[in-house]
A and B are shown apart, each in its own frame.
Chain A
Amino acid sequence: MASAAAAATGAPARASFALKQAQVPVSKISNVRSVSLPIGGRSFPSLKARRFQVSCAAKKETVDKVCQIVRKQLALPDDASVTGESKFANLGADSLDTVEIVMGLEEEFGISVEEESAQSITTVQEAADMIEKLIEK
């Protein structure tokens, strides 16, 4: 993923969009909306691409922030790898940790997560996806 590559090379977070797009596999991107602006009856592919890039960048920042909150809650060592696929339970989170993580995400992103949804947040990516969904509302 682009985030891992950036971290490894020490590249600053604000890489060019074109570079990011090339590095991130399309299949890993969820919740991508392509917007076509009909002008003179035709849609413009370049505008679709820009929208794609914006969604991609937002997701990375969200995932990174979730990773940060998870690291802090579970007091993970710096060399512990935490990615979108990381399952909270496998990192050592028990039910109280998970609820604290959700509370941390609520405060960080200004959202409200129903308790009923809490059990569907088992990985970093799932948390990021839920955040994106709630922010869009």
Chain B
Amino acid sequence: MILSRRVVISAMNAVCFKRSFATASSPLVPVQLPSRKEAHLWYVVPDEVKSSALLHNYLDILSPSEKENVFHKRGEQLQKAALLARVLVRTTIARYQINGQVDPRSLKFKKNIHGKPELEWNDDQCQCAPSLQFNISHTSSLILCGVTVDSLIGVDLEEKQRKLKNNILAFARRYFTPHEVKFLSSISDPVVQQQYFVKLWTLKESYVKALGKGFSGLPFRMFTIQFRTAEKGNSCPSGETNNKGEIIVKSLEDVNSFSSNWQFALLELAGSHYAAICMEKDEAVEGEVPTPMKLTVRKTIPYVRDELISGPDAFVISGLT
């Protein structure tokens, strides 16, 4: 996979923003659309957004119902994360300037039958707009938005150290597949087992989110996630970072098939989180040697600072071979 070296993008005077924020020094920096096989990942670290004036201005970007959702959250930390999640989605999409300059406030969203949010364009915008796909996930300490052109995408974030209240194997026996239970049971080190549980959970979530179905639309026991190392054909816990291996998904309904039109990547983000990315493969390369998913990761505080990110703040653990 290709990640650019770390570069700080300072304020650019390319685009004038109609309404300037009191505390922000730069407008939203526009970016090129991702290519067909590429996903752009944008993340915000809530703890780095300290200015209450900036947060107040962020609130202005949201729709009335989004604002209401934010205020219904219990406590400042939850409200801040909810606010930043909507701000990240709106400002990120607006950067791609599909039909010229877009005010983030003007974006409209709808939900599919399972509740997955999608962009809603006006009729006059629809004709020339390439289909921008996005998905968001957040914890209290990190907000992530993934964007592609035309490919369905699902992203899921979880803190690396997330502990279950229940016993891991009991939980897996209830909700995961027998294959995954066997895989987790084979890991003797409880720390590694807990890490692999979180990895499996985020990967499974990213898949059902990419499909737009969610946990209830596609129960987790209906499909298996497998880690495969490059050399062997079997799945086994691989701790080596120089052997990324492959992540595949198999449907339990049709045991002999595996879903070859989905590709996965598992990253470690900001040193604290696992991020699972699931993306529809480009149909154009069906039958040819599969080309790896390209990821571009950026950390942002909208209207303040954007950074292109490479290791150690963002590196791939598995997938993308």
C-alpha gap A116/B139 in the complex (Å): 24
The contact of B140 among A89, A90, A92, A118, by CB within 8 Å, is: A92
Query: Residues 125-167 of chain B: 1 if any A CB is under 8 Å from the residue's CB, otherwise 0?
Result: 0000000000000011000000000000000001000101110
A87 lies within 8 A of chain B by Cβ: yes
Contacts A100-B164, A100-B166, A119-B217 aside, 4 further interface pairs with beta carbons under 8 A come to A80-B74, A90-B73, A92-B75, A118-B215
A115 lies within 8 A of chain B by Cβ: yes
A72 and B74 in contact (CB under 8 A), knowing A92-B140, A99-B175? no
A to B CB contacts below 8 Å, 28 in the list = A87-B72, A89-B73, A90-B72, A90-B74, A92-B73, A92-B74, A92-B78, A92-B140, A94-B139, A95-B205, A96-B162, A99-B215, A100-B164, A103-B171, A103-B175, A104-B165, A106-B174, A114-B219, A115-B175, A115-B216, A115-B220, A116-B217, A116-B219, A118-B215, A119-B114, A119-B115, A119-B216, A119-B217
Tell me if A100 and B165 are in contact (CB < 8 A): yes
- A positions within 8 Å CB-CB of B: 72-73, 80, 87, 89-92, 94-96, 99-100, 103-104, 106, 114-120
Q: Which residues of B contact A95 (CB under 8 A)?
A: 205, 215
The A/B interface has a contact count, at CB < 8 Å, of 55
Residue of A nearest to B201 (CB): A96
B214 lies within 8 A of chain A by Cβ: yes
C-alpha gap A72/B166 in the complex (Å): 11
Q: State the Cβ distance, B270 to closest chain A Cβ, in Å.
A: 17
Tell me if B74 and A96 are in contact (CB < 8 A): no
Q: Which residues of A contact B215 (CB under 8 A)?
A: 95, 99, 115, 118-119
- B positions within 8 Å CB-CB of A: 72-75, 78, 114-115, 139-140, 158, 162, 164-166, 171, 174-175, 201, 205, 214-217, 219-221
The contact of A96 among B72, B78, B158, B214, by CB within 8 Å, is: B158
Q: Which residues of B contact A116 (CB under 8 A)?
A: 216-217, 219
Residue of A nearest to B158 (CB): A96
Tell me if A119 and B214 are in contact (CB < 8 A): yes
Residue of A nearest to B73 (CB): A90
Tell me if B165 and A72 are in contact (CB < 8 A): yes
C-alpha gap A95/B115 in the complex (Å): 13
Q: Which residues of B contact A120 (CB under 8 A)?
A: 216
C-alpha gap A73/B115 in the complex (Å): 24
C-alpha gap A91/B175 in the complex (Å): 23
Q: Which residues of A contact B158 (CB under 8 A)?
A: 96
Task: Name, among B75, B115, B205, the residue most crowded by chain A CB atoms within 10 Å (CB to CB).
Answer: B75
Q: Which residues of B contact A117 (CB under 8 A)?
A: 216
